[in-house]
């Protein structure tokens, strides 16, 4: 009998509803005995941005391209690390401080691949997936500007 | 071809999408931005800093020198801030 080939199920969703981290991890690891590590990253709406008080955050996306762009980077992560499962969920709509915005789960046999792939995916989610944040504060509303540090974080994955 | 706008580009243009027919002399993304900017002050305002504007053709990121020939859908938007 040949040993079972490691499969890497991929879930990419964009939704208005909140996600349940425990449920998503359970779905990813259900009936699997080959997974030794799951890394979970969640991005949460902060109340404080550059000393301004955020009342709410609105997330806009490019339907169709957003899913495709995330999947392209998930495929790249799968080609770079031995992954046994990936879940990426990005919420859109209007959020209050403390609310979940994004979830990335990476599963692998060992922790290093899971940690690195989760970081890789988040760096590209921030700089390349077509989502835009608009902030509401006491002083008005405005589009969040892209940060050079996010581009630098993503660029390190292209260095050999 | 269909053109879509997002975030503050959408707000400045005043619409989320439209169908346009640029002349055949408009061959690249940069030339399309220049042509749109020449159409009205609204577009000129939306594209006043063309280097800041990102573009996608048929759901894939492209650079400003990318050819628009055969494109079904072109999107213009500011740098992304998701995650």
Share of residues in chain A with pLDDT > 70 (%)? 93
Cβ–Cβ contact B61 with A under 8 A: yes
Contacts of A128 in chain B (CB under 8 A): 61, 80
Q: What is the pLDDT averaged over residues A25-30?
A: 96
Cβ atoms within 10 A of the Cβ of B8, count? 16
Cβ–Cβ contact B59 with A under 8 A: yes
Residue A1 covered by a domain? no
pLDDT mean values, one per 10 residues, chain B (83 residues): 98 98 96 97 96 97 96 97 94
Report domain extents, chain B: 2-77
Residue A21 is predicted with a pLDDT of 98
Reported as a pLDDT band with limits 50, 70 and 90, residue A31 is very high
The CATH number of domain B2-77 is 3.30.1440.10 = no
Q: How many Å apart are CA A136 and CA A58, to the nearest integer?
A: 8
Could you say which residues from 11 to 40 on chain B have a Cβ atom under 8 Å away from some Cβ of chain A? none
Residue A29 is predicted with a pLDDT of 96
**Cα distances (angstroms) measured from residue B75 to each of A33, A56, A97:** 44, 27, 30
Q: What is the reported pTM?
A: 0.93
Domain that holds residue A94: 10-147
Contacts of B6 in chain A (CB under 8 A): 60, 62, 130, 132
Q: How many Å apart are CA A120 and CA A85, to the nearest integer?
A: 15
Cβ–Cβ contact B75 with A under 8 A: yes
Could you say which residues from 103 to 122 on chain A have a Cβ atom under 8 Å away from some Cβ of chain B? 122
Contact B58, A68 (CB under 8 A): no
Residue A70 covered by a domain? yes
Q: Quick check: A111 pLDDT over 90? A: yes
Q: To the nearest whole angstrom, how far is the Cα of B27 from the nearest Cα of chain A?
A: 23
Total domain count for chain A?
1
Residue A4 covered by a domain? no
Instruction: Name the nearest CA neighbour of A59 among A116, A119, A149, A129.
Output: A129
Reported as a pLDDT band with limits 50, 70 and 90, residue A138 is confident
Q: To the nearest whole angstrom, how far is the Cα of B30 from the nearest Cα of chain A?
A: 20
Residue A20 covered by a domain? yes
Mind giving me the DSSP string for chain A?
-PPPPP---EEEEEESS---HHHHHHHHHTT-SS--EEEEEEEE--SEETTEEEEEEEEEE-TTHHHHHHHHHHHHHHHHS-EEEEEEEEE-EEE-TT-EEEEEEEEESSHHHHHHHHHHHHHHHHHTS-EEEEEEETTEEEEPPPPHHHHHHHHGGG--
Give phi and psi for B56, each to the nearest 5: -135, 140
Residue A59 covered by a domain? yes
Residue A71 covered by a domain? yes
Q: A52-61 and A48-49 as β-strands: parallel, antiparallel, unpaired? A: antiparallel
- pLDDT (tens digit per residue) in A36-83: 999 999 999 988 876 678 899 999 999 999 999 999 999 999 999 999
CATH code of the domain in which A98 resides = 3.90.1170.40
Residue A133 covered by a domain? yes
Q: How many Å apart are CA A145 and CA A83, to the nearest integer?
A: 33
């Amino acid at each position: 009998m040949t040993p079972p080939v490691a499969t890497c199920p991929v879930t990419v969703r964009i939704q208005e509803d909140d996600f349940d981290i425990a449920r998503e991890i359970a779905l990813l690891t259900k009936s699997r005995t080959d997974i030794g590590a799951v890394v979970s990253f969640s991005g949460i709406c902060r109340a404080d941005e550059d000393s301004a008080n955020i009342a709410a955050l609105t997330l806009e996306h490019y339907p169709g391209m957003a899913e495709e762009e995330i999947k392209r980077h998930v495929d790249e992560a799968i080609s770079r690390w031995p992954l046994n499962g990936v879940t990426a969920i990005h919420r859109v709509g209007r959020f209050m401080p403390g609310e979940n915005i994004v979830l990335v789960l990476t599963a692998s046999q060992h922790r290093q691949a899971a940690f690195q792939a989760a970081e890789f995916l988040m760096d590209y989610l921030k700089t390349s997936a077509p989502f835009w944040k608009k902030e509401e504060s006491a002083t008005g509303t405005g589009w969040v500007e892209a940060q050079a540090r996010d581009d630098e974080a993503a660029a390190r994955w292209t260095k050999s | 071809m269909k053109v879509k706008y997002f975030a503050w580009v959408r707000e400045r243009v005043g619409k989320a999408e439209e169908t346009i027919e640029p002349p055949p002399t408009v061959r690249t993304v940069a030339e399309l931005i220049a042509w749109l900017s020449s159409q009205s002050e609204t577009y000129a305002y939306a594209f006043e800093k063309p280097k800041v504007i990102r573009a996608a053709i048929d759901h894939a990121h492209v650079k400003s020198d990318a050819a628009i020939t055969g494109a079904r859908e072109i999107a213009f938007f500011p740098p992304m801030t998701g995650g």
